[in-house]
Amino acid sequence: MRIEAYNQIAQAYNSSKPSKMKGTASVSKWDEVQISRTGYDYQFAKKAVAEAPDIREDRVSPLKDSIASGTYKVETGAFAAKLIEKYEARY
C-alpha cells in the first residue's frame, strides 16, 4: 500500500481540511441530549425490575410453611376450572 496514494484521493475528493460553517450566529461547543419522558420511564422501570428480588418471600413463605406443616390443600375442581378458563382465554 502506498501512503502517497491517500493524498491523491484526499485531493480528488477535496477532503483534506474540514470546511468551516459560515453564517451561523453562535455555535455551541457542547452537544446536548434530551431524553423523552417515555425513555425516562423506561429507564426507571428497568432499574426497578433489576433491583427487585427474583422471589417474593412475602408470598412464598406462607405457602412453604403450610406445605411443610401438611395444611396446604388444593381443591381440584377450582384448579381445573382456572386451568380451563386460562386455556380458553388464550385460544
pTM value > 0.75: no
Max intra-chain CA distance, the chain = 87
pLDDT at 29 over 60: yes
**pLDDT-wise least confident of 14-23, 35-44, 74-83:** 14-23
In angstroms, how far is the first alpha carbon of the chain from the final one?
65
What's residue 17's pLDDT? Answer: 57
What single DSSP character describes residue 21?
P
| 15 within some domain | no
Domain span at 88: 55-91
Tally of domains within the chain: 1
| 41 within some domain | no
Residue pointed to by grid coordinates 408470598: 59
How far apart are the C-alpha atoms of 47 and 12, rounded to whole Å? 51
**pLDDT-wise least confident of 3-12, 55-64, 68-77, 79-88:** 3-12
| 18 within some domain | no
| 35 within some domain | no
